[in-house]
A = this chain, B = another copy of it.
Amino acid sequence: MTLDAPTHYADRLCSLIRAKKTPLIVGLDPRCEQLPPSMLAGHGSLVPLAIQAQLYQQFCCEIIDAVHRLIPAVKPQAAFFEQLGPAGMMALANVIEHAKSVGLMVILDAKRGDIGSTAVAYAAAYLGARPLSPWGCDALTVNPYLGEDSLEPFVTAAKKNNAGIYVLAKTSNPGSRTLQEKIVDGQPVYSHIADLLQSMAQSTIGDSGYGIVGAVVGATYPEQLWALRQQMRNTLLLIPGYGAQGGTAADVAGGFDEQGQGAVINSSRGIIFAYERREYRAIKDWQVAVAQATQDSIAEIASETRAGRISDSVIQ
């Protein structure tokens, strides 16, 4: 055992989860029509893309400032920045840099996936620290449809750059049934993917007991989440679908191991647009509403899940 800060992705994440005493992460999914009225004031109903990009950057950076002491990581959603064209991509880069500068880990939700040298390019783009990686993320979500050889370049880059990936296994939408739940050799497709991910996680394991290959498993199917946790003992889980998508703290409970570790729970809309929610409307500053919603979600998760035991059980 060493006193140096861990460099292995899973070790870094688990260490931050213990330090912050919560597995909650905040999803940065900005939308122009839901920005705080104070930010939109003075702009007409048709805000030019370049201005929208500036507003997204300001909004996300202020959220980061409001919550960075409370949580281990943020998860920007690439699509909302891509929607604004190149100006949005510049805003995304600045948001990632700001999050890193205040000690947050950054999991970019971009669901990339391709083969050969194209997968190498995606991995080089997103995984690792600046300036080697221009986007400089700690982890990236990846789509497995193209198969095992399409995942390998991401794993190679992640290993080299102390980064991680989360591969889609069982997503939170009803349409996940179309393909992910189809039965092959007696088990659903997502379970075959889970076997593959567990083997990749095992071969990249760190001191935390987790590998650098994780899985995305939605909060909206709690029984499958529980089963996948048992099936993938060394695989970090990224659990979307908590909060606005309908998943409760009880629903995500099955995603943790006996020490309350091994998973991060993402909440996006319920937190970043908290000022729109009835229970927070009385709060004058939108940033305070965001921080309060974060604290409330942390408390809710802690009270209903084994993750509530993190602070007591795993002081190493």
B122 adjacent to A146 (CB under 8 Å)? no
Copies in the complex: 2
A9 to chain B, nearest CB (A): 20
- Bound together, the chains give a CA A215 to CA B45 distance in angstroms of 38
Considering only residues 80-136 of chain A, those with a C-beta below 8 Å from chain B are 80, 82-90, 92-93, 111-119, 121-122, 124-126, 131, 134-135
Q: Is the interface of A mostly helix, strand, loop or mixed?
A: helix
In the bound complex, do residue B178 and residue A79 qualify as a contact, i.e. CB atoms below 8 Å apart? no
Known: A118-B29, A179-B192. A173 touches B147 (CB 8 A): yes
Do A82 and B196 contact each other (CB < 8 Å), given the known contacts A111-B143, A175-B148, A179-B147?
no
Question: Which among A49, A145, A183 has the highest number of chain B CB atoms within 10 Å?
Answer: A145
**Cβ B189 vs Cβ A83 within 8 A:** no
Interface size on A, residues (CB 8 A): 61
**A28 near B: Cβ within 8 Å?**
no
Chain B residues whose CB sits within 8 angstroms of the CB of A147 once the complex forms: 171, 173-180
Within 8 A of B (CB), among A180-198: 180, 182-185, 189, 192-193, 196
Complex Cα spacing A121 to B112, Å: 15
In the complex, what residues of B have CB within 8 A of residue A155's CB? none
Evaluate contact between B196 and A192: CB separation under 8 angstroms. no
> Which residues of chain B are within 8 angstroms of A121 by Cβ–Cβ distance?
77, 79-80, 82-83
